[in-house]
Amino acid sequence: MAAKKVLLALTSYNGDFYEDGAKTGVFVVEAMHPFNLFTEKGFEVDFVSETGKYGWDEHSLIPDFLSGKDKEDFDNENSSFHKALKNVKAAKDVKASDYDIFFASAGHGTLFDYPKAKELQGLAEDIYANGGVVAAVCHGPAIFDGLKDKKTGKPLIEGKAITGFTDIGEVVLNVDKIMKDKGLLSVEDIAKKYGAKYLAPIGPWDDFSITDGKLVTGVNPASAHSTAQRAIDALN
């Protein structure tokens, strides 16, 4: 029997964002933890971004977020994670019918490009319409801004329960004003915009993820592993 396949989405935005001049982009563990779990469970994983390019969120490389085994894995250029990243695909070159799970990784970069990433959104819509799972962690739910349920024509998250990075977390990270100045919607804003029920964790850094049918969401870097596990459970 052919292995089940996961399409793991990355932001292609890699530009200045933070007050200290650091760039945002893909938040390392929010791509690496899901990749490691999916491959461990026997899934084939392909990376995709809207343009076929990506770059790292520089804050996700600091010891607060990348240390121990994660840092060892990340520093190993011969790891299966890095090998897969060398073959990141552009969304226009991917067939949705090849995949069972669409997983949107995150980093604040997603707030810039996911809402406009029509090819990526089309892949997520098709995978969901085919009975697959759509999952997103942290800022990954930015992909839901404009995403439709092809069977109903309504917003995919309308009337559904979702989570994602909290507005309180944006304040703690001191980026709430930057987001406002750049006209970027938070995950809570997107939930309100499309009539989804936003569920918050007790604390912004808790491991917290939820499932609503074939829709799975998680709140932060600490939730990347549990969100991927829920995606597998939802598929099964």
DSSP annotation of 3 reads P
Summarised one tens digit per residue, pLDDT across range 62-91 is 999 999 999 999 999 999 999 999 999 999
Tally of domains in the chain: 1
pLDDT at res. 1: 62
CATH of the domain at 13: 3.40.50.880
The average pLDDT across 6-16 equals 97
SS3 67: coil
The average pLDDT across 174-203 equals 97
Residue 139 exposure: Cα atoms within 13 Å on the Cβ side: 27
One of 33, 58, 108, 138 is an active-site residue; which one? Answer: 138
User: What is the spatial distance between Cα 137 and Cα 153, in angstroms, rounded to a whole number?
Assistant: 24
Tokens of 9: 């989405």
The reply to whether 158 belongs to the active site is: no
Is 141's pLDDT higher than 90?
Answer: yes
Band of residue 192 on the pLDDT scale cut at 50, 70, 90: very high
pLDDT at res. 142: 98
The average pLDDT across 99-106 equals 98
pLDDT at res. 2: 73
- Cα distance from N-terminal residue to C-terminal residue, the chain: 15
Summarised one tens digit per residue, pLDDT across range 22-45 is 999 999 999 999 999 999 999 999
DSSP 101-165: EEEE--STHHHHHGGG-HHHHHHHHHHHHTT-EEEEETTGGGGGTT-B-TTTSSBTTTT-EE--S
Residue 205 — left, alpha, or beta (φ > 0 → left; ψ -120 to 50 → alpha)? Answer: alpha
User: What is the spatial distance between Cα 178 and Cα 130, in angstroms, rounded to a whole number?
Assistant: 38
One of 33, 59, 108, 139 is an active-site residue; which one? Answer: 139
pLDDT at res. 100: 98
The reply to whether 170 belongs to the active site is: yes
Instruction: Look up the domain containing 31 and give its range.
Output: 3-233
pLDDT at res. 3: 81
pLDDT at res. 99: 98
Rg of the chain (C-alpha set): 16
- Strand 133-137 to 44-49 pairing: unpaired
Residue 11 buriedness (CB in 10 A; 0-12 / 13-18 / 19+): buried
Is 148's pLDDT higher than 90?
Answer: yes
The reply to whether 82 belongs to the active site is: no
Place of tokens 């439709």: 148
Per-chain mean pLDDT for the chain? 97
